[in-house]
Chains A and B, each alone.
Chain A
Amino acid sequence: MRRDDVGVAGFFEDLPVLVFILAGTLTILISFVSVSGAIQSEEREENLGILANRSLDLIVVELLLDSPAACVNICSVCETELRNMIEELLGGPCFAISVVMVHPELKWLSNTPVPEQLPAHACSSSRLLNGFTDDGRIGVLLVRVLVW
């Protein structure tokens, strides 16, 4: 080891080190931010899924209320009643319900409008039910709830 003034030190010599450290720090920060955002949005969608399921269960119970054979009377499907019931559960008009007969013929029995500007987070749930048609046949109903 010897002592002299030949050694070089200064701001520009430290720049490569600084670049590596800044790049590493930025990478960690960006990944933390995007991961926490994804986890939050995942939790929100999970909550929406639970709400959609609960709303759907309520609708199915209401539809089957007077049907001991677990078969809905298609004429009795009343859109207003279903809307009011779900609005009470969710505390606002942030949902859409559709009841469609898929067999023996395709027929919309109830359909609440969906906003033109769909929200970023929405979750839907659906159930199949048997239902009596006017002419005594047993059809299949698809009940779907979309919550946002």
Chain B
Amino acid sequence: MDAVVFFVIAITISSILFFYVDDEVFRSAERSDDDQSNPGAILKVFLHSSLGADIVLQLNGEVRIPGSSEIVECISTELEALALGQNLTDFSPLNDRLIIVLRSICSPVMEPFLMAINARGEKSDEMFSIPRAITESGTQLASSTRLPSSHSSYLLILVLVPSSNANPAS
């Protein structure tokens, strides 16, 4: 009987030890220091980089945006135009380009979603969400920043969803 009790205690002790090691390994995996999976770092370099390719928009007339334009300026202009009643579809070429740039910067195992919110006082209106609204559940990483123009009430939110969780575009 004493031997059986000793055996049961031994099994319990080793189970606790293995559980502790598993937990440590899991936490060390979480410590990865990779800017490509860090939405704050991605958003920072994304906003200050150039579009990279010329874009032509059909607004009231043809508007050509050079590839050397800074992304933060393009987004500010788009948001001002949307606030004045311009259609979001008019900016599709620009938004497609923004998503291409985001995908090239962030980790290939992550799918980026960019949202712009007009936050005035207690009210907040979603201005756009590209490439589409987020419907995925599960682990998501996010970071936000206020557009650096004067009197700006626009908040940009970058959400990274693991590609395995992201549904194909609907």
Residues of A within 8 A of B (CB): 16-18, 20-21, 23-25, 27-28, 30-32, 34-35, 38-39, 42, 45-46, 49, 52-53, 71, 102-106, 124-130, 135-140, 142
Beta-carbon contact of B7 and A38 below 8 Å: no
Q: How far is the CA of A30 from the CA of B18 in the complex (A)?
A: 11
- The interface residues of chain A lying within 8 Å CB-to-CB of B119 are none
Least CB distance, A44 to chain B, in whole angstroms: 11
Least CB distance, B43 to chain A, in whole angstroms: 10
Q: How far is the CA of A53 from the CA of B32 in the complex (A)?
A: 11
Q: How far is the CA of A25 from the CA of B14 in the complex (A)?
A: 10
Q: How far is the CA of A91 from the CA of B78 in the complex (A)?
A: 51
Beta-carbon contact of B48 and A42 below 8 Å: no
Beta-carbon contact of B20 and A128 below 8 Å: no
Beta-carbon contact of A28 and B14 below 8 Å: yes
Known: A24-B11, A102-B105, A104-B50. A126 touches B34 (CB 8 A): yes
Q: Which of A23, A31, A103 has the most CB of B within 10 A?
A: A103
Query: Does B10 belong to the interface (CB within 8 Å)?
Result: yes
Partner among A18, A24, A42, A103 whose Cβ is within 8 Å of the Cβ of B9: A24
Beta-carbon contact of A21 and B105 below 8 Å: no
Partner among B11, B36, B48 whose Cβ is within 8 Å of the Cβ of A138: B48
Using C-beta atoms within 8 Å of the partner chain, give the interface range for chain B: 35 or more
- The interface residues of chain B lying within 8 Å CB-to-CB of A105 are 52
- The interface residues of chain A lying within 8 Å CB-to-CB of B28 are 42, 45-46
11 contacts between A and B (CB under 8 A): A17-B2, A20-B4, A27-B7, A27-B10, A27-B14, A34-B18, A35-B20, A42-B24, A128-B36, A136-B68, A140-B45
Partner among A20, A42, A49, A53 whose Cβ is within 8 Å of the Cβ of B6: A20
Partner among A53, A104, A128, A130 whose Cβ is within 8 Å of the Cβ of B33: A53
Beta-carbon contact of A140 and B105 below 8 Å: yes
Q: Which of B3, B11, B28 has the most CB of A within 10 A?
A: B3
Beta-carbon contact of B24 and A39 below 8 Å: yes
Q: How far is the CA of A105 from the CA of B21 in the complex (A)?
A: 43
Beta-carbon contact of B52 and A104 below 8 Å: yes
Query: Does B49 belong to the interface (CB within 8 Å)?
Result: yes
Given contacts A39-B24, A127-B35, A138-B68, 18 further A-B contacts (CB under 8 A): A17-B3, A21-B3, A21-B7, A28-B13, A35-B20, A35-B21, A42-B28, A46-B28, A49-B33, A71-B48, A104-B67, A105-B52, A106-B104, A126-B33, A137-B50, A138-B50, A140-B46, A142-B36
